[in-house]
Amino acid sequence: MDQSLFTSILFATVVAGTPLIITALGELVTEKSGVLNLGPEGMMSVGAVAAFAVTHHTGNPWLGILAGMVAGMLMSLLFAFMALTLMANQVASGLALSIFGVGLSAFIGKSYESVALPSIVPMRIPLLADIPYIGPALFQQQALVYFSWILIGLVAWFLYKSKVGLILRAVGESPVSAHEIGHPVILIRYLATLFGGAMAGVGGAFLSVFYTPMWVEGMVAGRGWISLALVVFATWRPMRVMIGAYLFGGAMITQMFVQGSGLKLSIPAQFLSSLPYVATIVVLVLISRNLKTIRLNSPASLGQPFLPDA
């Protein structure tokens, strides 16, 4: 394989995986607290359109990212209010949030459909970017790509090394016990849900501001659902979320290269397009089929409402 092809596939893989990592890590924290929010697709959509609009009007992509984050948080706040305060069914509320978010983003985005944003110059990390083959692919990226790497470490550290993370996992495992020993279950679940919303918003913003700097209705294109699936198949572990996201991104990019290469293949294009989904799920299922690790890492109270004893 010649250098430029390898480097560009790797580069594109990292870019494609980034919004998935950010969104999935947010959802992971939410689910670890026992809340099942099926709304990432909607939160990403609203985050994407908010970020696009603010970037377009201010000319500042960072304000745009911030707006995406806030929009995602507001969406998750709506969900949290329904599911945690009003004790509505989490699955139904989450699905409703996704449908609502996709629709709302299309409505807001109508007037931005023909607008394009200037593309943003990537952030080059000196020295590291000079490594042959992988340097230009990994270290000449958008700042949010580096952010996603830091986020993996932060989330892992938070969950497994910090006390608040321990409390969050305890709430997800047994809210009744956590309440009995004096932890504010509902507050912790609220915060975890808001973090999930914020990250989904940033994930969406990455799509509309950096990945394809324009707004198209339905541009999130199922990435929210993929993030959701990644969390489950990665058995709620941050490192595996990254593996899954890059696997999906890599398979996606590779099949696009194959389809675009003009190779005369007797494989239907639809089959190639479905490969990334199949490959990601198969690999993640294979690496995490140990029942014991699933039991140890999955939040036992996932999706169950907690009603404190009055």
Partner 1 sequence: MQTPSTETPRLAVKGIRKAYPAVVANDAVSLSVMPGEIHAVLGENGAGKSTLMKLIYGVTHPDAGEIRWEGKLVTIKNPAQAREMGIGMVFQHFSLFETLTVVQNVALALPGKFDLVALAKRIEEVSERYGLPVDPRRLVHALSVGERQRVEIVRCLLSDPRLLILDEPTSVLTPQAVRKLFETLRKLAAEGRSILYISHKLDEIQELCHTATVLRGGKVIGTCKPAEETPATMARMMIGEDLPVCQHGDDSTHGEVRLKLEGLSRVAEDPFGTDLKDINLEVRSGEIVGIAGVSGNGQQELLLAISGEEPGASKRGVQICGVPAGRMHSGRRRGLGMCFVPEDRLGRGAVPRLTLTENTLLTAHRHGMLNHGLIRFKTARRFAEACITRFDVKCGGSESEAKSLSGGNLQKFIVGREIMQNPKVLVLAQPTWGVDVGAASFIRRTLVELRNQGTAILVISEELEELFEIADRIVVIAKGKLSPIKATSQTGVEEIGIWMSGLWPGAEARKKDSHVA
Give me the residues that bind partner 1 (CB under 8 A), please.
162-163, 166-167, 169-170, 173-174, 176-183, 291-292, 295-297, 300, 309-310
CB of 304 to partner 1, least distance (A): 15
Cβ nearer to partner 1, comparing 117 with 178: 178
When the beta carbons of 9 and 186 are compared against partner 1, the nearer one is 186
Half-sphere exposure of 253 (CA within 13 A, CB side): 19
Min CB(302)–partner 1 separation in Å: 13
C-alpha span between 207 and 223 (Å, rounded): 10
CA angle 35-41-47, nearest 5°? 100
- Of 11 and 236, the one with the shorter C-beta distance to partner 1 is 236
Instruction: Please report how close the Cβ of residue 299 comes to partner 1 at its closest, in angstroms.
Output: 9
* Shortest Å, Cβ 166 to partner 1: 6
Locate tokens 């047994």: which residue? 174
Cβ proximity to partner 1: between 167 and 272 the closer is 167
Instruction: Provide CB contacts within 8 A for 202, sequence distance 6+.
Output: 22, 23, 47, 65, 68, 69, 72, 144
Nearer to partner 1, 101 or 172 (CB): 172
Bridge-partner residues for 265, per DSSP?
none
| Shortest distance in whole angstroms from residue 309 CB to partner 1 | 5
Is 124 or 289 the residue whose CB approaches partner 1 more closely? 289
Q: How far is the CB of 179 from partner 1 (least distance, A)?
A: 8
In angstroms, what is the minimal distance from the CB of 144 to partner 1?
Answer: 31
Closest approach of partner 1 to the CB of residue 245, in Å: 25
Upper half-sphere CA count for residue 198 (Cβ side, 13 Å): 10
Report, in Å, the least distance between residue 241 CB and partner 1.
19
C-beta of 84 vs 144, nearer to partner 1: 84
C-beta closer to partner 1: residue 30 or 301: 301
Q: For partner 1, give the closer residue by CB, 35 or 137.
A: 35
